[in-house]
Chains A and B, each alone.
Chain A
C-alpha cells in the first residue's frame, strides 16, 4: 500500500498539484487519470522522489519516504519498477542488456538465470527474439514494451507505469493492460498506472484517482465512473459524440 498525504507542488508560481491525498492499494491496479497537464506525471515523480513535494508525505507500507534519508530512499527504490512516459531505455545497451540491468545490479543470478528471466519478460511484452536490438532500432511502441519488461524484471513490489499504452495499437494495448493486471495480482504488487485511455480505465480501473487541474477531483472504480454525475468526469469519459450515445441512462 502506498499512501500519499496532502501533496503540494508548484513550479515557479504555477501550482501544479494541489493538496492531493490518496491510498494506492496492494494487489490492485491503481489508476491516475485526468486530462493532459493535470499533474499526473508530477505526482508520480513525487511518489518516487524525482520531484520533492513542497509539502506532504508519501508512505510505502507505512515507511515514510519523502522525509527519509538518501540511503533509506535507495532501499525503497530497489523495490520499485518504473516505466517512464518516454521509456528511458539506456541507449548504449541492447534490449536484452536493458532488461538484465536491474538483475546485474541487484541480484546474484547466474548468467543462465538472467537470460531465462530476460527472455521470460520479453516474451510477456511480445518482444521475444528482439534481444539484440538497440533502443534506436525500435518503434515507439516497442520501446514502451521493452521499458515495461525492464520495469518488471526484478519482480518489484511497487510498479509505476506512466502511460504504458500511449503509442500502442488497441490490440497491443489490451495485451499490456492484461500483463500489468496479471503481474500485479500474481506477485501482490502495488501498481500505479497513469493513463488517459478509456479502454485501460475500463479494463484495469480497480481503484481510480481522477485529477482535475492538479486537484483530487474524484475517486472510485471502473463501474462507478460510468454512473457518476460529476461534470468534469463525464467530459473526460464521454469525450466523443460516439461515446456519449453509449452513456447508460439511469
Chain B
C-alpha cells in the first residue's frame, strides 16, 4: 500500500516539476550551475574508479583466459565490452546515486526543514520545478559525457595495467579493443545512462522535497534516496537490457 502511495506522490511531484517555469533565464542559469556541481564535481571520482576498475577487469580476464583456444586479444575485447556494456553505465551510475543522489536529497531536505522551500512558495515560485528540474536536466545532459569519459579511461586503465603487469601485450590489447565493435552497444549504454540520470535526480529530489522534521530526518532522506535509487537502477537495468539487447 505504501508503495502505491509513494509512487503516486512521486508522479504528482513530477507533474509539478515539469510545470511551466516562471522565468526561463533563471532556470537556464541554474542548469549551468548544476552541470558544474553535479557533473564536473564528480569527474575526479569517476576517473579514479574507472582507471582502476579497467585495470582489474583486464588482469582478471587474462587470468581466466588460460585455454589455448582463446586468442589473447580477447582480453582487450572482453575488457572493452564489460566496460562499455555494464561497468561504465551501470556501476558508475550506482556510484553517482550514492554521491549525487545523497547530495541532492540532503540539500533539498535541508531547504525544506529550514523553511527555504516555504519561502520560495510564498514568493509565488513553483519550488518543485525551481529546485528539481535543473538538476534532472543537468544530469541527463552531463552524465552521458561522464560515462563516455569513464569508458575511455577504463579501457586506458586496462591497457596501462595489463601491459605493466604482463597480463597481455600492447599489440594484443589494442587489436582486441578494436575488434568486433558494435556501435549499437554505445547507444544502448547511453540510453541506460540517461534513464539512470533521470531516476537518480528525481528520486533524490522526491526524498528531499518531502522531508519533514529536523536534521535527523534529512539524514534518513538521504539514506533512503541512495537505497531506492540503487534498487530502481538495478531493476531498470534489467528492463532496458531485455528490451534493447534481447527483445
Contacts and interface: CB of A to CB of B under 8 A. Distances in A.
A86 B116 CA distance: 10
Contact of A88 (B26, B119, B124, B125): B119
Interface size class of B (residues with CB under 8 A): 10 to 19
Contacts of B23: 104-106
Contacts of A217: none
B116 A91 contact: yes
Contact of A78 (B114, B115, B123, B126): B123
Interface in A82-134: 82, 84, 86, 88-91, 101-102, 104-106
A74 interface: yes
B121 interface: yes
A1 interface: no
B238 interface: no
A105 to B, nearest CB: 6
Contact of B123 (A49, A50, A105): A105
A52 interface: no
Contacts of A80: 122-124
A106 B124 contact: yes
Interface in A193-249: none
A48 interface: yes
Interface residues of A, number: 22
A50 B125 contact: no
Contact of A105 (B111, B115, B125): B125
A233 B122 CA distance: 32
B118 interface: yes
A105 B116 contact: no
A75 B122 contact: no
Interface in B65-122: 110-111, 114-116, 118-119, 121-122
A52 B126 CA distance: 18
A5 interface: no
Nearest to B37: A92
Contacts of B121: 49-50, 77
A156 to B, nearest CB: 9
Contacts of A102: 123
Contact of A84 (B119, B125, B126): B119
A88 B114 contact: yes
A73 B123 CA distance: 10
Contacts of A104: 23, 26
B123 A77 contact: yes
A90 B111 CA distance: 8
B205 to A, nearest CB: 16
A73 B124 CA distance: 8
Interface of A: 48-50, 73-78, 80, 82, 84, 86, 88-91, 101-102, 104-106
7 contacts: A50-B121, A75-B124, A80-B124, A82-B119, A86-B114, A86-B115, A91-B110
